[in-house]
Amino acid sequence: MKVGDNIRAIRESEKNFKRSYVAGKLNITTRAYGNIENNIASITVNRLEEIANILECDPLYILNYQSSKKKFYDSFHNQLNSQSISAVNEVAREQALKRIIKLHEELLASERERIALLETLLKNNNIQGREGRQYRFVRP
């Protein structure tokens, strides 16, 4: 990443300054300042220090902005992801367990209904049951 890109990123994301504001502080045109941010114009150490003062940061911060930002975000996201994965796994386990319990309850209810239906069919058709009981055929 080039210096102009770093300056633009800091100006936009951290300071929320307009290009015209920074250009005015530098006593240059907005176009000339735009050339700095677009990496068209070369930048001197003195100009870098002036811009750093306007952006209220250290010149080294500007020079190392993208790499520092990347290291910070990588570290933050790695820590967040490991915590999130643990939390997501726990939530997924709880949801899976609740689903298994619900399915088990539905299966039991279905089997109870099936047994009741079979017993009714046995009784209605005068068929002997498991225990050797004779079911009488009863017409409604």
Give residue limits of the domains in the chain: 3-63
Q: Is the pLDDT of residue 134 over 60?
A: no
> Contact at 8 Å (CB) between 55 and 11?
yes
- The fold of 3-63 is 434 Repressor (Amino-terminal Domain) (1.10.260)
In this structure, what token pair is assigned to residue 71?
A: 């290291």
Band (pLDDT 50/70/90 cuts) for residue 130 is: low
Q: Is 138 helix (H, G, I), strand (E, B) or coil?
A: coil
pLDDT of the residue at 84: 62
pTM check: above 0.75: no
C-alpha to C-alpha distance for 14 and 98, rounded to whole angstroms: 45
Band (pLDDT 50/70/90 cuts) for residue 129 is: low
pLDDT one-digit tens code per residue, 79-102: 666 666 666 677 777 887 888 888
Q: For 116, which DSSP code? A: H
C-alpha to C-alpha distance for 93 and 79, rounded to whole angstroms: 21
> Contact at 8 Å (CB) between 49 and 106?
no
